[in-house]
Chain A
Amino acid sequence: MSTDYQIKSNAARSSIINKLKKEVAGADYDKLPEELSYQYQQLSKTQQVEQFIGHLEANHAQVIKLEKQQIPQVVSEQLKQRGIRTLLYGMQAPHSAQMAELDSYIHAEVFDFNLAENKEKLFNQTPAGITSSRAAIAATGSIVLWPTETEPRSLSLVPPVHMVIVDAEQLYANFSSLIREQQWQDNLPTNAILISGPSKTADIQQTLAYGAHGPKELLVLLLNA
């Protein structure tokens, strides 16, 4: 059964579409001008890594280079430095198994609950979260997340400290090349996110402040760099 607003919406739809179609009737889409794009300079892998780190640091993120087996040790250290004892992580991320090896001082917990029933816990009792990443972009210093049921999207958003593991092998020159090479148009997930630093705002007198609503700190653990 259609409700009142659905009927109205359908009427609006035909009215809008018809008006627009009338104006472009007969337009020849084969004769559109060619859209040139700028040819960016090709950088070597090393240069790309440098560029990636440079942009992230300029945006107030901390980048730590490490090897895979060092993850437990580095994560433990970083949390200790901040006096954090609780860490939330995803169920099946490549680093999940390693979370058992964290310093005993840290209580690592798996995100295996439904957010709706655990909002209070996530918002007020989870000082840090750690996630994996799907790719990274050199030109803008961005990390790409495709959250899943085993690594929910709020894990990289709500806890004040977000640690993210990025593999330098997954680095793409820019956003365009990433979309093309991974053929995003065929399989976008529920939510894809580009993250390029900790949450920030300059809404009060153009003064930059970090930790507006999302994480105050973004810690990038960079493998194979």
Chain B
Amino acid sequence: MAAEQFDPNESKYAASARAFRDNVSRDLGNDELRDNFRGAMDYLMDKRTKAFVDGDELETLREQCKLIKQRCLLKLPHLLEQLEENLQANGIQVHWAETITDANDIIAQLITEKNGKTVVKGKSMVSEETALNDYLEERDIECLESDMGEYIVQLANEHPSHIIMPAIHQNKKQVADLFADNIEGFKHTTDVDALIGEGRRVLREKFCNADVGITGVNFAVAETGTLCLVENEGNGRMCTTVPDLHIAITGIEKVVEFLDDVPPLLSLLTRSATGQLISTYFNMISHPRQNDEKDGPQEVHLVLLDNGRSQAFADEELRQTLQCIRCGACMNHCPVYTRIGGHAYGTVYPGPIGKIISPHMLGLEATNNLPTASSLCGACGEVCPVKIPIPKLLLRLRKESVKPANDETTVMKGEGSGRKKIEAVIWQGWSLMHKYALIYNTSMWFATRLRKLMPKKVGVWTSVRTAPKLAPKTLHEKIKARNKTRSAQQQNTIATQNIGGK
């Protein structure tokens, strides 16, 4: 089997992903939650549309960015080496981790070496992937989320429900209640400016005193050894400017070859994500603090995480998953995501991207249900800025999930785990039936004649549907009968005409 090296069970997300169906029933029944998502998705879709007024520009950019990412992936091992070399030459230290535990361990040790007690964290989905907060908390290191959305989610003891807007599942009233319960002296208000002001007050104190700043990375530039961060709030800049130690963590697929690759990717990222031409801040870090500089971290570290990415990389089709620049547009446009919300998936990355990346991180056994939770409407593939054929990859994962045991190719951890004996037998029968006319016709004849014996309840399927009734005759029979009458009629007409003609 491929990728035996990582153990999916070490992630707490495997269990919640397994509970997908239950999660869905729970969240579909929550009207307030559904309202919150509907409102948010409509808003984000509208923003994106308005950011791409020129269709030609959008399509050229998408094609260009797809090719950039594909080039960078094809050169990935070399670019990672080049990135490491240039970062080190710049004074930034590089660490590698295959599993989430190893990544957490590196970070924890870097912090303890410096006697760090408090951490402020900028938004990083990779650190959610590793469940870093829990890991540090267990080692008595306080790790505070500083992105407003992440801060809310952390206060509520939840996970982000969206990769760009983590607290999208909550409305302002819910946030106000949360603040009232958790922040001393907070005067209850649903005024958003006041709520943000309160978050600002609490967090600025933390920025001022934290020992360590942890962030993600949007693009790591191999050519120059530069870490690029995209953000609006300024918390990322705080985390990378004020504390003495800055640790960045990212997936190995985030490296780009040239600095010149960055502007088109950045432009598509912010416009696809929130409809902004550019984010408020674009922060490019190439060194720790230099000799005479008066601020900035003394040490900068980068942790590069695999966690199943090299498994996706090994298959040329599935490798496209790694083109993702994490804009979130696929979830904003997904009819399933909009209805069930981000938490139902049970994974770190929800929505269409979550369905294609999570199986590599958690194994297909835990995530079998995800690729099936799609109507294959194609919206995700159409909006994806780097043209990942998401619907095609979903089909591929469905196939991997039911792969027969005697298939000798190995593609991913947990492949074949979704295969059910009974389903396999039914499909075998189905294909036999469609191969041989005699079997087909006989079984259809019986099915229609014995239709009264059809069960009214067919498992889960009829829990929300009425079972269909078979027609008394098959379409084939009906057409045959119709053709018969027609030719009889024609014969009659010809006969009549002949008589008339005489």
**A residues neighboring B (CB under 8 Å):** 3-6, 8-10, 12-13, 15-17, 19-21, 23-24, 27, 29, 32-33, 35-38, 40, 55, 59, 111-116, 119-120, 123, 139-142, 148-149, 152-154, 157, 174-176, 179-180, 184-185, 188-207, 209, 211-215
Contact = CB atoms under 8 A, between A and B. Distances in A.
Centre residue among A13, A190, A192, A214 by max chain B CB count within 10 A: A190
Interface stretch (B233-241, B436-444, B486-494): B233-241
Centre residue among A13, A16, A200 by max chain B CB count within 10 A: A16
B310 A20 contact: yes
A200 B280 contact: yes
Contact of A190 (B57, B64, B293): B293
B472 to A, nearest CB: 55
A129 B109 CA distance: 37
Contacts of B285: 190-191
A20 B315 CA distance: 11
A55 to B, nearest CB: 7
Given A59-B280, A120-B208, A179-B260, A190 B242 contact: no
Interface in B34-70: 36, 39-40, 43-44, 56-57, 60-61, 63-64, 67-68
Contact of B241 (A6, A19, A154): A154
B234 to A, nearest CB: 3
A185 B244 contact: no
A142 B203 CA distance: 26
Given A24-B76, A148-B293, A194 B278 contact: yes
B277 A201 contact: no
Interface residue tally on B, bucketed by range: 35 or more
Nearest to B240: A191
A59 to B, nearest CB: 7
B96 A13 contact: yes
A23 B314 CA distance: 6
B260 A176 contact: yes
Interface stretch (B135-143, B144-152, B340-348, B460-468): B144-152
A13 B204 CA distance: 37
B399 interface: no
B5 A15 contact: yes
A75 B233 CA distance: 25
B98 A204 contact: no
B67 A152 contact: no
B274 interface: yes
Nearest to B75: A29
Centre residue among B44, B64, B267, B280 by max chain A CB count within 10 A: B280
A204 B175 contact: yes
B7 to A, nearest CB: 14
A115 B280 contact: no
A126 B375 CA distance: 55
6 contacts: A8-B97, A8-B105, A123-B207, A188-B284, A191-B284, A204-B172
Q: Which 5 A-B pairs have the closest CB atoms?
A: A214-B234, A203-B149, A212-B233, A115-B295, A149-B292
B266 interface: yes
Contacts of B429: none
Given A185-B259, A196-B279, A21 B77 contact: yes
Interface of B: 5, 36, 39-40, 43-44, 56-57, 60-61, 63-64, 67-68, 71, 74-77, 80-81, 95-98, 102, 105-106, 109, 146-149, 152, 165-168, 170-172, 175, 192-193, 195-197, 199-200, 203-204, 207-209, 223-224, 226, 232-235, 237-238, 240-242, 244, 252, 258-260, 262-264, 266-267, 274, 277-296, 304, 306, 310, 313-314
Centre residue among A15, A20, A37, A142 by max chain B CB count within 10 A: A20
B318 to A, nearest CB: 11
A35 B68 CA distance: 7
Contact of A209 (B192, B226, B282): B192
Contacts of A204: 148-149, 152, 167, 170, 172, 175, 192, 195-196
A142 B283 CA distance: 12
A20 B61 CA distance: 28
Contact of A29 (B74, B209, B289): B74
Given A175-B263, A189-B286, A213 B200 contact: yes
Given A16-B310, A119-B208, A123-B208, A114 B294 contact: yes
Nearest to A23: B314
Contacts of B209: 119
Contact of A174 (B240, B263, B294): B263
B208 to A, nearest CB: 5
A24 B77 contact: yes
Given A115-B295, A206-B44, A212-B196, 4 more contacts: A123-B208, A203-B233, A204-B148, A214-B281
